[in-house]
Structure formats: C-alpha cells, structure tokens
Amino acid sequence: MADLPQLWMRNETRPTERRAPLTPEDAGRLVRQGVRITVEDSAQRVFPLDDYLAAGCRAAPAGSWAEAAPGAAYVLGLKELPSAPERLHHRHVYFGHAYKGQPQAPDLLRRFAAGGGTLLDLEYLADAQGRRLAAFGYWAGYAGAALAALHARGRLAAPLVPLPREELDARLRAPSSDGLCALVIGAGGRSGRGACDALTTAGISVTRWGRTATARLDRAALLEHDILINAVLTTRPVPPLLTPADLETGARRLSVIADITCDTGSELHLLPVYDRLTDWTVPARRLRGGDRPLDVIAIDNLPSLLPAEAARAFSADLLPKLADLHTTTADPDWLRCRAAFTAALAGLPAQPAATQGRFEEVPT
C-alpha cells in the first residue's frame, strides 16, 4: 500500500471550469485499491464534494494544495495553475499548455525549475504511437461545432452556460431550412468525430477532411462552406489553413470559424486570421464585417459546456494511468510524459527552430 500514489485533486480557479479529472465513482475505485485521495472543495465543480467523501476521499479547502499537500503527493487538475506560488515543488498532473511556444510557457516552466517540481502534462500522456490516453477531444469538438451551428443560425445566446446534452441537442434540432454546409478539418480524430456528430444532430451538411485532404489544402473549397471547424493538431509548424488575405476573396461563403485547437500565440497556430481567444461571456468575435461578415469562436475549455459527460469519459480514460502514477520511473507512458517536460526545461529560454511538419487529427 505504501507504494501507491497519493492524489490531491485541486480546485479549478477558472470560474467557468466545471469539469473534474476524476469522478467520485472512479475516485472510489482507486480508494478501494489503497490510493489516498484528497479533494479540494469547489464552488463550481459539477460533482459535489460530498460524493467524493462518500467514496472514501478526504476533503481540503479550495486552493490549499500549495501549503497543505504532502511533497510526495501528485496534484491533479485540468486547467491553469494560479499565479502563486512562484516556486512549484509538487508533481503536477494537468494540461499545462507549455510546450508549443505559448506566450505564458516560459514563466510557467521557470516556476517548476525554481521549485524543483515536475509537470506531467496530460496532453503528452500518450502511447508509443503518440495517441493520447486520456482526452476531452470528442466533447470539445461536439461543443465547438454546436456553438458554431447555433451562431450561424442566430441562436447563440451569451453568456454561455453549461447544459445537459439533451437540452443542447434539442436546441440543435430546432427546425431550420437554411441549407447550411460545414467543413470539419481533422474529421478522423476525436475532436473531429465529435464535431461531425453535433453538426449531423443540427441537420447541417458536413464535408469531412482527413489527413490527405488537409495536406492538399484546397482553400477555395474551404471558403465555399458556411462553417469551418478546425480539429487539427500539428506537432510542427505547417502552412496555415487560412491567412488574412484569403478572407478578402470575393468568393468567400464562410461566415463562422470554430477553432477547437486554440493554439493562438504559438508557431503552430493554423488560423492566423485571429490572434486572441474568445470566452463564455463573448463566445464569438467578428473578424470581418460588411455584406459578408465572418466570426470566430475560439474557447479553450469547450468541454466544460457539457461538464458531466466530458468528465465521465475523461476520468474513465485516466483511471488506469492514475493507479500507475507510482511507477513513473518504469511505466513507458509516464516516462514519455516526463521526458516531454525535461525537454521543455532544457529548451529554456530558446525557442525550437521551425521545421517542416505534418497534419494530424486532434486526438484530445
């Protein structure tokens, strides 16, 4: 029992983040295996704290991990850490978004370097073929495409609020005869499949591009669709899907872009027609006005719009790997995850040189 990991699930500080990396049911399974789990209180988490306590977890105040979590604990979360403490000495398991040249990445990595801590970035918890082992991609694609469909039909209300899937689907199925068509780029990945399912639910015609069609990149054909869903992950810089000049063509039908990947600020950003994210308060931002308006939706926590469904699927994926956290020096998947962090630290402050890359469907 002593060798099993100790988990400390922190409160998410972003007000719109309602997901959890571990459900009460899955936490109970780990507790029965001998894993000690502490769960911080949270005002917005979709699962109440009492459910975790009933599963055998311990409670802690929100945000107490920095001072109260034992040094041997793994601090488990999803989105960004708060700005304090400046030195991070724990082992953190969450989506750090710090290895692709994002503007905030150097500061975060320096905090880990200063404190001697470790980032086990869930984006890089992958098998030998590079496929992510725990991911929110399906629900990110579903939610992003749903927002795009509603916005294209003038039915997207702001601010956004989380919904049960049944209610979201009812809104998508509301009668319409507008004849909209959508293009999903990266349609074969998790995010792409989720996007295609949402658009089909909405009764919108869907064109699906996989790796081959994406690599050929027929921009004229892309611009002939009403809605563009970008569900592409690229690990190296590649030509963008659209440039500002492409938006000026008189043949453009495109009116809504939903970017699931949200790589703004990175050299891997495939849609440099926009430069900042949107959010739950203002989910869509206008890129072009006039007779042919064009709006972008780029929200980086889309699955939290369907928090229960997204969390249950993610937790089921992550569960077996959490039980193996104590084997991070031997488990090949965790070793690759740790190696990505080590390589990122070694790259400070230099940025990686641009190299020719390839397209892949987002497997998140």
Active-site option among 90, 92, 97, 326: 97
Q: Which one of 304, 319, 337 terminates a domain? A: 304
235 lies in the same domain as 328: no
Tokens of 140: 């990110």
**Domain shared by 199 and 125, yes or no:** no
Same domain, 123 and 201: no
Do 149 and 235 belong to one domain? yes
The residue that leads in pLDDT, 267 or 158, is 158
Q: What is the mean pLDDT of residues 251-260?
A: 96
Same domain, yes or no, for 212 and 188? Answer: yes
Specify if 96 maps to a domain: yes
Quickly state the pLDDT bin for 3 (edges 50, 70, 90). Answer: low
Which comes out higher in pLDDT, residue 358 or 102? 102
Confidence class for position 126, pLDDT limits 50, 70, 90: very high
Asked if 144 and 240 sit in the same domain, the reply is yes
CATH number at residue 186: 3.40.50.720
- 269 has catalytic annotation: no
Taking residues 300-321, report their average pLDDT: 95
> Is pLDDT at 236 greater than 90 in this prediction?
no
| Average pLDDT of the residues in 167-195 | 96
Confidence of residue 356 (pLDDT cuts 50, 70, 90): very low
238 and 232 in contact (C-beta within 8 Å)?
no
Please tell me whether residues 144 and 287 are part of one structural domain. yes
**Residue 274: pLDDT above 80?**
yes
161, 266: one domain: yes
- The values of phi and psi at residue 229, to 5°, are -115, 115
What pLDDT is attached to residue 353? 45
Is residue 340 situated within a structural domain? yes
pLDDT computed for residue 359 by the predictor? 47
Do 175 and 270 lie in a common domain? Answer: yes
Q: Both tokens of residue 265? A: 């600020």
Say what the pLDDT of residue 88 is.
Answer: 98
Contacts for 309-312 with beta carbons within 8 Å, 24 or more apart? 309/139, 309/165, 310/19, 310/136, 310/139, 310/140, 311/19, 311/20, 311/21, 311/23, 311/46, 311/47, 312/23
Give domain status of residue 364, yes or no. Answer: no
Res 81: pLDDT: 97
How many folded domains does the chain comprise?
2
Whether 316 and 292 map to the same domain: the answer is no
Residue 364 pLDDT > 60: no
| Cβ–Cβ < 8 Å for 293, 299 | no
Residue 249: predicted pLDDT: 85
Average pLDDT, the chain: 92
321 is catalytic: no
Q: Indicate whether 333 belongs to any domain.
A: yes
Mean pLDDT of 267-286: 96
DSSP state of 126: B
Question: Bigger pLDDT: 22 or 163?
Answer: 22
Is the pLDDT at 245 greater than 90? The verdict is yes
Single out the residue of 212, 228, 314 nearest to residue 270, CA to CA: 228
299 and 312 together in one domain: no
> Which amino acid would we find at residue 225?
H
pLDDT, residue 350, reads 52
Strand partners, 58: 38
Could you tell me the residue range of the domain that residue 168 belongs to? 137-304
Q: What are the tens digits of pLDDT across the range 81-115?
A: 999 999 999 999 999 999 988 888 999 999 999 99
Continuous segment of H or E residues that includes residue 40: strand 36-40
Q: Are 204 and 177 in contact (CB under 8 A)?
A: no
| Pair 33, 164 in one domain | no
Last residue of a domain, one of 304, 331, 347: 304
Residue 290, by phi and psi: left (phi above 0), alpha (psi -120 to 50) or beta? left
Residue 221 has pLDDT above 90, yes or no: yes
Contact 38, 8 (CB under 8 A): yes
Report yes or no on 361 lying in a domain. Answer: no
Query: With bands split at pLDDT 50, 70 and 90, how would you rate the model's confidence at 354?
Result: very low
